[in-house]
């Protein structure tokens, strides 16, 4: 049987096709069960280039792009899976689609597409294909369980750090269907902070990606002495408002002749930063580089600090890391090297928003 995963919550349109059988009775563990499903296709169409000119996602433009491109993405998924449309619909068991959280107009596109496919199948075969609404965040969590060693035992209780563009959470799982959020952001998520700091520095959207690329060229340290948020707070919550304010004040204190707050960098300037070059003619580049290094250090340090507190409190048997920001090499390294229990990290190709993680969340809920 085939299973369809549809994701359209923000600025990626994605459709995935999984093959497998929903039968948990002969599976010894959630890992063995989840890895019995094969990802035949996972096509992602990004809107980054479209939104770059606005410095961020414009919801209505994003929704229109989803509507324009979702049929193409579907056809590309069929081609990648080496399936014909009729082959898929004759053997399609369930459609999993993101319905929360996200941009309402964008989510609507994915849901309506799912309804269209289900209606078409009924008209052609009189078979009712169930549409299962999936929480986008459950998709991220599910992604860290896929591709892991299936002979691992005793992974629960599991403590999960979910770090994406819009969410930073610590989640305690007694099993996959028994989750509790024990820590969350009080303001911006880590991914939002990356992007907003990057925008202050004149980096183009998605600015957080460029901060990481620049920072990863150097040993991670707090060169600019930026504040690490919530360091004296023993809760498991995060806050990045202080970091953003500190960066803004530092920028405003400078008196560069050729650059100011939020002034977009030229391609030449960005090239200098990404290739770790310096130029006496561009005096603000060293400052920007140091902020990138320091901001990444501080963001990751706070995530690590809170995760350490959570581990001490809940004593989990495993730790998980997922979400778009989990692709960050420094964050992955920090979580792995600072843990003496098993760490499950989402495969890089499943860290961003994608249909496969939505389908994985769907089939996992039925374990």
pLDDT digit string (tens) for 164-193? 988 999 999 998 889 999 999 999 999 999
What residue spans of 35-58 are helical by DSSP H?
48-52
How many other CB atoms sit within 10 Å of the CB of residue 232?
6
Are 161 and 294 in contact by the 8 Å Cβ rule? The answer is no
**Tokens 């405003």 sit on residue:** 252
What is the rounded distance in angstroms from the CA atom of residue 62 to the CA atom of residue 118?
24
Question: Could you give all domains of the chain from N- to C-terminal order, each with its CATH number?
Answer: 2-147+348-364 (3.30.420.40), 158-345 (3.30.420.40)
Whether the per-residue pLDDT at 90 is higher than 60: the answer is yes
Whether the per-residue pLDDT at 135 is higher than 90: the answer is yes
**Tokens 């819009």 sit on residue:** 166
Whether the per-residue pLDDT at 206 is higher than 70: the answer is yes
pLDDT digit string (tens) for 94-123? 999 999 999 999 999 999 999 999 999 999
Instruction: Name the β-bridge partners of 234.
Output: none
- Tokens standing for residue 85: 């449309």
pLDDT digit string (tens) for 237-267? 999 999 999 999 999 999 898 899 999 999 9
């Amino acid at each position: 049987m085939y299973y369809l995963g549809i994701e359209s919550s923000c600025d990626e349109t994605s459709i995935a096709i999984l093959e497998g059988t929903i039968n948990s009775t002969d599976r010894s563990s959630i890992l063995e069960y989840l890895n019995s499903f094969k990802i035949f296709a996972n096509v992602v169409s990004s809107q980054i280039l479209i939104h770059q000119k606005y410095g961020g996602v414009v919801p209505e433009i994003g929704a229109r792009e989803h509507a324009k491109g979702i049929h193409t993405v579907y056809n590309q998924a069929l081609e990648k899976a080496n399936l014909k449309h009729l082959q898929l619909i004759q053997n399609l068991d369930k459609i999993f689609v993101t319905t929360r959280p996200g941009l309402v107009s964008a989510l609507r596109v994915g849901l309506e597409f799912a309804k269209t496919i289900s209606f078409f199948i009924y008209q052609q075969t009189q078979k009712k294909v169930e549409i299962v609404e999936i929480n986008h965040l459950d998709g991220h969590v599910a992604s860290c369980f896929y591709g892991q060693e299936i002979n691992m035992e005793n992974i629960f209780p599991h403590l999960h750090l979910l770090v994406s563009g819009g969410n930073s959470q610590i989640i305690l799982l007694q099993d996959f269907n028994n989750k509790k959020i024990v820590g969350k952001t009080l303001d911006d998520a880590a991914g939002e902070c990356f992007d907003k700091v990057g925008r202050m520095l004149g980096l183009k959207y998605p600015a957080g990606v460029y901060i990481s690329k620049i920072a990863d060229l150097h040993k991670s340290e707090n060169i600019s002495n930026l504040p690490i948020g919530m360091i004296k707070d023993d809760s498991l919550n995060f806050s990045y408002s202080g970091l953003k304010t500190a960066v803004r004040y530092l920028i405003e204190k400078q008196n560069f002749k050729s650059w100011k707050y939020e002034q977009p960098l030229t391609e030449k300037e960005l090239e200098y930063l990404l290739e770790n070059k310096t130029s006496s003619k561009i005096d603000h580049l060293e400052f920007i580089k140091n902020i990138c290094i320091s901001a990444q250090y501080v963001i990751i340090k706070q995530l690590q600090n809170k995760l350490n507190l959570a581990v001490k409190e809940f004593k989990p048997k495993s730790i998980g890391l997922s979400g778009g920001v989990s692709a960050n090499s420094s964050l992955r390294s920090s979580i792995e090297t600072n843990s003496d229990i098993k760490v499950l990290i989402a495969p890089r190709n499943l860290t961003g928003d994608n249909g496969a993680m939505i389908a994985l969340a769907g089939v996992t809920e039925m374990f």
